[in-house]
């Protein structure tokens, strides 16, 4: 029988979201405060050797999928080198990347060559002034990055749009047209009360049921599936290849099928985006434990995985920002 990590609720954990940095070159208002600089010190970052070791052990425990995230993963120097080391680990079948795309124009080709198979990119608006207001950054760089990723042959490219009331909800149809034009997949996300920044966006929360109902008036939406689709529920726009995913942690949570844990840049293993259960791996790695002991610690850590988040009932639970955990 192949090895596997199973939590107390019978969920098989076979997916690690790996935050390679908590830094970012943008400041999306729902994620990180404007001007924020209080980042993890470099001595606390797991080195590439440490990351490779932890992921190798996860692979031996049945993990098949890794996603590089952050913060902005491309802010970490030599990310492609890390990617190629992880892609060649036994058992790791799928290595993907979540990025804000600002640096993709420079790195798309080397990331593809390194073995990244799929890219998810954040894009909440197609208007430069709004982009600036939401992220403090420049839209052009992101669009250039997306086109470079397309030219480098990444497929699918999934666009993640956090839909917010009175901020960008009026651009949902434009984003559908944009994704049809470029053959991207589109995913809508509900704002989550993670950190003060996430909670401050609570008044911009809009249920994706509302978004879906209004889209259905304009487009013919057919039920669909998507390989590696995670928690998103998909539809296809009739007459086009476009698939649209709805990620609804608040209006319809998906915790019963959760298959993931998150490893932060400082070596903390977080069991749930919406809870505080965690396990410190860095001190163990730096005191020279054996692979067998590391396996036991990871297995023990999985025991802590909570049944579900409580974003609706206890929105004050998580004080860390999304960028610290690795969204
Ligand atoms: N920097 C990369 C990016 O933006 O794609 C990767 C990390 S980012 C934390 C991952 C995802 O988390 C992005 O799609 C972002 O929109 C989402 N996110 C961050 N804060 C959020 C919040 N409070 N509610 C919902 N989604 C959030
Ligand atoms: Fe940076 Fe991504 Fe957070 Fe935006 S959502 S501030 S791009 S980490």
Closest C-alpha to 99, from 43, 137, 61, 46: 137
* Domain 5-325 -> CATH class: alpha beta
Centroid of ligand 1 to alpha carbon of 327 (angstroms):
5
Centroid of ligand 1 to alpha carbon of 32 (angstroms):
10
Centroid of ligand 1 to alpha carbon of 322 (angstroms):
7
Q: Which ligand is nearest to the CA of 325?
A: 1
Q: What atom in ligand 1 is closest to the CA of residue 120?
A: 5
Q: What atom in ligand 2 is closest to the CA of residue 27?
A: 6
Q: What atom in ligand 1 is closest to the CA of residue 195?
A: 23
Centroid of ligand 1 to alpha carbon of 286 (angstroms):
30
Cis ω for the linkage preceding 287 (within 30 of 0): no
Report the C-alpha gap between 21 and 315 in whole angstroms: 25
Q: What atom in ligand 1 is closest to the CA of residue 192?
A: 24
List all residues whose CB is within 6 A of at least one atom of ligand 1: 24, 30-31, 69-70, 72, 98-100, 122, 160, 162, 189, 191-192, 194, 198, 201, 322-323, 327
Helices (H), 103-161: 104-114, 128-135, 139-151
Report the C-alpha gap between 55 and 89 in whole angstroms: 8
Centroid of ligand 2 to alpha carbon of 60 (angstroms):
31
Tokens (6 digits) for 236: 């296809």
Centroid of ligand 2 to alpha carbon of 47 (angstroms):
22
List per-residue pLDDT tens for the chain, 327 residues long: 567 899 999 999 999 999 999 999 999 999 998 888 889 999 999 999 999 999 999 999 999 999 999 999 999 999 999 999 999 999 999 999 999 999 999 999 999 999 999 999 999 999 999 999 999 999 999 999 999 999 999 999 999 999 999 999 999 999 999 999 999 999 999 998 877 788 787 889 999 999 999 999 999 999 998 876 578 899 999 999 999 999 988 887 788 889 999 999 999 999 998 888 899 999 999 998 999 999 999 999 999 998 888 777 778 777 777 777 777
Helix (H, G, I), strand (E, B) or coil at 269: strand
Strand pairing class (278-280; 221-224): unpaired
């Amino acid at each position: 029988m192949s090895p596997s990590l199973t939590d107390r609720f019978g969920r098989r954990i076979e997916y690690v979201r790996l935050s390679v940095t908590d830094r970012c070159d943008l400041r999306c208002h729902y994620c990180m405060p404007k001007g924020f600089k209080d980042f993890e010190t470099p001595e606390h970052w797991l080195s590439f050797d440490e990351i490779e070791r932890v992921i190798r052990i996860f692979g031996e425990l049945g993990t098949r999928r890794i996603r590089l995230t952050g913060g902005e993963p491309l802010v970490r120097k030599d990310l492609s080198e890390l990617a190629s080391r992880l892609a060649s680990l036994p058992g790791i079948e799928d290595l993907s990347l979540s990025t804000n795309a600002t640096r993709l124009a420079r790195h798309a080709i080397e990331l593809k060559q390194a073995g990244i198979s799929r890219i998810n990119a954040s894009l909440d608006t197609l208007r430069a002034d709004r982009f600036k207001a939401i992220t403090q950054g420049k839209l052009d760089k992101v669009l250039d990055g997306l086109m470079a990723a397309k030219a480098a042959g990444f497929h699918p490219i999934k666009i993640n749009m956090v839909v917010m009331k009175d901020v960008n909800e009026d651009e949902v149809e434009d984003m559908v047209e944009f994704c049809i034009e470029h053959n991207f997949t589109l995913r809508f996300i509900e704002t989550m009360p993670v950190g003060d920044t996430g909670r401050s966006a609570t008044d911009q929360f809009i249920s994706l049921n509302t978004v879906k109902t209004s889209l259905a008036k304009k487009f013919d939406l057919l039920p669909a599936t998507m390989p590696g689709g995670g928690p998103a529920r998909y539809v296809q726009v009739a007459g086009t290849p476009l698939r649209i995913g709805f990620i609804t942690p608040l209006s319809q949570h998906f915790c019963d099928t959760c298959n993931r844990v998150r490893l932060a840049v400082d070596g903390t293993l977080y069991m749930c985006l919406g809870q505080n259960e965690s396990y410190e791996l860095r001190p163990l790695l730096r005191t020279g434990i054996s692979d067998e002991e590391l396996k036991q610690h990871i297995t023990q850590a999985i025991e802590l995985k909570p049944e579900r988040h409580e974003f609706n009932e206890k929105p004050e639970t998580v004080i860390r920002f999304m960028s610290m955990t690795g969204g």
